[in-house]
Amino acid sequence: MSVTDQLVKSNRDYATGFADPGMDARPVLGVAVVACMDARLDLHAALGLELGDCHTIRNAGGVVTDDVIRSLAISQRKLGTRSVVLIHHTGCGLEAITEDFRTELEMEVGQRPAWAVESFRDVDQDVRQSMQRVRTNPFLLHTDDVRGFVFDVKTGRLHEVDPPR
């Protein structure tokens, strides 16, 4: 049985006891969380969140890219979020690669990716950059409550990153 087959089987088991929670897509807490896709981050547990509390947007590094801005714009303008929480983490894989990854892909497949890797060396500085991207984006309505954090994968603790000056 493949991993996907196992997931589909688990969904069948889940669906047998599923009851519609009666929610709409608007997050109860009015917050969107942007975080890394790293499998070690259990955001709901780490932040004390329940189903329906927030929008969760995840990608490699938790970097604020054009697609994250797209999701945040929809979250704010159509679904009522007002706060943005950015969460990067210690030991991120983006600290171990460089933009050369795009060249490697180009050499392998014959086409250069249109996207940037967004690798970084200083996780706190990358959080600051992401905060600045959110705060200065013209498509976002609510940019006054944007906070950034680094999650420590060894302790489970967040430390807040000072905003850019």
The per-residue pLDDT for 112 is 94
- Residue 165: pLDDT above 90? no
* pLDDT, the chain, mean: 96
- Residue 164: pLDDT above 80? no
The per-residue pLDDT for 73 is 98
**From the centroid of its chain, how far is CA 122?**
18
Continuous H helices in the chain: 3-16, 43-47, 66-79, 100-109, 123-135
* Sign of the C-alpha dihedral computed for residues 20, 22, 27 and 28 taken in this order: negative
The per-residue pLDDT for 35 is 98
